[in-house]
Amino acid sequence: MPQEAHVYSYSAVLMGSPILLKLFQHNEHLAHQVFRLIKHYENLLTVNRSPSEVMNINHAAGLHPVVVNPAVYQLIKCAKSASLLPNSAFNLAIGPLVKCWKIGFQGSSVPPADEISTRLALTSPHQVILDDEQHSVFLTQAGMELDLGAIAKGYIADRVRDFLHSQQVFQGLINLGGNVQTLGGASQMRGTPWSVGLKKPFAGPDDLIGVIEVEGKSVVTSGTYERWFEFAGKRYHHILDPSTGYPLDNELHSVTIVSEDSVDGDIWTTLIYGMGVEQGCACLANKPGIEAIFVTKDRRVVLSSQQLFTFTLQDSSYQLAP
């Protein structure tokens, strides 16, 4: 019998989130390199403090194009294409609205309607001009702002996976706070999946609806219960509808995407969140590499398909719908 391998866990707080790395070897140096890599990308992509490549683009809005690092350029290009899909709920230029709602930050409040409409006019992804030769990005109007908050963690999780592969590490797990990327299985024995908890909305951090099991896949969850505030008896959460400027409002509490790459999971959580259960399942029927787990406000758990993972329901107050 092969011996059960020991898992070594390393943690840090980066990007405002608890970060967890699991490895099958005790290697502080490697963990340190992983955390440094995450910090490196955080410094390039953040919109919460200067300087960062994205802040440089935002500061030059309406003035001039900004040449950026090739990796940042490719990520912005990918975010722009997702934003230009028909009826997309994803918008990389949502920054002016995110900044006025301040959801998840101190001082969040419901902005006046006229401020929302003024800022909405500054969020067109068509006005994010990319130059493939120069690797430059130009926001054509003053006041425009990119926000890569809905894609950055996914992108970084994939970079951590690639780095570990380059170091000949093919088993492990990185959790960037809602974005989990797994490498291989959860033991040196073949066929042992990693377990990723599906959180119960508005409950304690260890309160689970069920468990998702995967090997070598990404699991990304976006939920209305992650960051929100309450005003006059109504909850406002942090995923905004780019067509109205207000938080997306539908039958969902959360969407989880299982996929190969975490960057796709991050984009698709937002896209599918905007579609809702019925349209989301119809859309994913033609996308074999992207699978969704919906958690509805009326306590249903809906799986779009189940080729990439298995799901076990644990909380009997929820109903599993195929």
Site residues (vs Mg ion, CB under 5 A): 150, 153, 266, 269-270
Which partner from the list Mg ion, ligand ADP, none does 159 bind, CB cut-off 5 to 8 Å by kind?
none
Does residue 267 touch ligand ADP according to CB under 6 A? no
Binds 295: which of Mg ion, ligand ADP, none (CB < 5-8 Å by kind): none
Q: For the CB of residue 200, give the shortest distance to ligand ADP in the complex, in Å.
A: 15
Residues of span 151-190 touching ligand ADP by CB under 6 A = 153, 178
Nearer residue to Mg ion within complex by CB, 115 or 241: 241
Q: From residue 25, how far is each of 8, 21, 157, 170, 294 by CA, in Å?
A: 6, 11, 20, 11, 35
Instruction: Confirm or reject binding of residue 239 to ligand ADP (CB under 6 A).
Output: yes
By CB under 6 A, is residue 256 in contact with ligand ADP? Answer: no
Q: Which helix (H) or strand (E) holds 139?
A: strand 136-139
Q: Find the part of the chain contacting ligand ADP (CB under 6 A) among 4-12, 22-30, 84-92, 110-118.
A: 84-92
The entry of Mg ion, ligand ADP, none that residue 218 binds, CB within 5 to 8 Å by partner kind? none
Q: Residue 15 class from Cβ within 10 Å (0-12 exposed, 13-18 middle, 19+ buried)? A: buried
> Distance between CA 61 and CA 41 in Å, rounded?
22
Q: Which of 34, 44, 76, 89 binds ligand ADP (CB under 6 A)?
A: 89
Q: How many residues make up the chain in this entry?
A: 322
Give the whole-angstrom CA distance, residue 307 versus residue 289. Answer: 9
Q: What is the rounded CA–CA span in Å between residue 53 and residue 75?
A: 12
Q: Degrees (nearest 5) of the Cα angle 75, 79, 85?
A: 150
Do the beta carbons of residue 122 and residue 245 sit within 8 Å?
Answer: no
Among 31, 66, 72, 98, binds ligand ADP (CB under 6 A): 98
Q: If you search the block for the tokens 């076990």, which residue do you land on?
A: 312
Scan for tokens 């040196």, then name that residue.
188
Buried b (16+ CB within 10 A) or exposed e, 296-315: beeeebbbbbeebbebeeee
d(CA 43, CA 89): 26
Task: Give the nearer residue to Mg ion in terms of CB position, either 261 or 266.
Answer: 266
Which range of residues in 1-9, 19-27, 235-243, 293-301 is near ligand ADP by CB under 6 A? 235-243
- Nearest approach in angstroms of CB 231 to ligand ADP is 18
DSSP-derived 3-state class of residue 217: coil
Q: Which is nearer to ligand ADP, 270 or 304 (CB)?
A: 270
Site membership for ligand ADP, residue 266 (CB under 6 A): yes
Using DSSP, state whether 157 is helix, strand or coil.
helix
Q: Which is nearer to Mg ion, 169 or 252 (CB)?
A: 252
Name the DSSP letter for residue 84. Answer: T
Which span sits near ligand ADP by CB under 6 A: 7-15, 27-35, 91-99, 280-288?
91-99
Using CB under 6 A as the binding rule, whether residue 270 contacts ligand ADP is answered as yes
Residue with tokens 């909305």: 201
CA dihedral 86, 92, 95, 96 (to 10 degrees): -40
One of 46, 52, 58, 91 touching ligand ADP (CB under 6 A) = 91
Closest approach of Mg ion to the CB of residue 178, in Å: 5
Which residue among 123, 187, 218, 222 contacts ligand ADP (CB under 6 A)? 222
Q: Which of 10, 35, 73, 90 binds ligand ADP (CB under 6 A)?
A: 90
List contacts with ligand ADP (CB under 6 A).
Answer: 89-91, 94, 98, 147, 149-150, 153, 178, 222, 226, 238-240, 242, 266, 269-270
